[in-house]
Structure 1
């Protein structure tokens, strides 16, 4: 580290993190003071289970040798902040940003027709697109190659309705999962019964996994897949805790 340069992150400034029930929900406190998000909103959620998980993040943050912490140490808090501040203030903008992924959805762009890779993509991705259609009536257009396509107006209207009727906590987790996976379809499938993070990540990284099966393991790729698994798993855990109450 260069002389005079401070370590990344902020210094831990609290000793204890706990949860207290208030009129509006369960608030996370540091040394008796409620945590405030960047815009001043209290870190308070309607689920005790989620609040306890948030408090656990704060208890663990900054316990390393440096005594410092970064936002990546508080992933659940980051999603809660989006739910409590970003979504209420810019809901339609968030919805439009998510909807834009429909025209670039990973599952809709395949290798050249007839290739071995295209067949494997169809084997994994087609059932997922069929599941999306069964759930929401949205049949996404699929193409071969990288030339951009536009989904039909009917599909976009249906997807807009799905997003527009989603709860704030659902939009908050979609805001993490959709960009991470590069797929609105996979993000919406996250809400289907029995869906697991591993299935979503496997679908999103199919091409890389097929290449490694042919050419050998690339540790950079496996590290990226593992990080993606953690990111998606954290978002799904947030939603499960929120719904647990």
Structure 2
């Protein structure tokens, strides 16, 4: 039963375990994705979050206010069926990582970037044995292909649910390294987001904030923080099969 575009008809929402995965039921009828696949997820924590979204439905289902359901649908309907294409798309960010592109000036901005980003490239080297090259300006810098393969390996080892989270962590920050820092708990998500915003925040400090731009930034920040939570809920090693 797919209730993704339905009006509310159910009274009870429950989570049930099915062969080590977890499903959400509406009056004992299993929720399905928009593509009619069973909406089964890897951890109870994720299932509980999805169930809460369905309990909160008032009159009609609104996907815009159901981020956990929406992300789970994407993992099942989209990423699982084209996993390699998505992983390769995200891996390309490693060759143009935000942390590797530094301002030519002013000196204060250059120093701010160095203070914030150098230690993260150090962490990547210590953790993965990979040292990314750094450049100034907008001219591309070539990264060692062997090193990139090592750095991007976690993408190809991820589950579809984890890769959905990786997508927003990388795309919203412009940095594979920052995404890895979040998933490996080197940084809390808000700190990683702030570190991705050094250039933009510098401009805001200088010229002031634009209200419309601020709304867009907040939407992206919320998506980034949600992706971090979704990744955490996707990790069966951290969550446990029952929690």
Q: Extract unaligned runs of 5+ from structure 1.
A: 1-8
Q: Extract unaligned runs of 5+ from structure 2.
A: none
Give how far 1:51 is off: 0.6
Moved more, 136-145 or 220-229: 220-229
Aligned to 1:14: 9
How far, CA to CA, are the matches of 1:133 and 1:225 in structure 2? 30
How far, CA to CA, are the matches of 1:160 and 1:239 in structure 2? 17
C-alpha spacing 1:131/1:194, structure 2 compared with 1 (3 Å): closer
- Verify the 8 A CA contact 2:46 2:233 in the aligned structure 1: yes
How far, CA to CA, are the matches of 1:59 and 1:161 in structure 2? 38
Aligned to 1:59: 55
Q: Considering only aligned residues, what root-mean-square deviation do their CA atoms show, in Å?
A: 2.3
How far, CA to CA, are the matches of 2:186 and 2:134 in structure 1? 25
- Verify the 8 A CA contact 1:136 1:162 in the aligned structure 2: no
Give the counterpart of 1:101 among 93, 105, 126. Answer: 93
Aligned to 1:222: 214
- Verify the 8 A CA contact 1:208 1:221 in the aligned structure 2: no
Aligned to 2:132: 140
Between the two proteins, the alignment pairs up a number of residues equal to 233
Aligned to 1:183: 175
- Verify the 8 A CA contact 1:76 1:235 in the aligned structure 2: no
Q: Normalised by the size of structure 2, how large is the TM-score?
A: 0.85
Aligned to 1:38: 34
Moved more, 29-38 or 123-132: 29-38
Q: Normalised by the size of structure 1, how large is the TM-score?
A: 0.84
Note the alpha carbon deviations across 1:118-163, whole angstroms, 9 max, x for none. Answer: 2211111111121122211221111111122331112222123232
Aligned to 1:235: 227
Give the counterpart of 1:82 among 59, 74, 86. Answer: 74
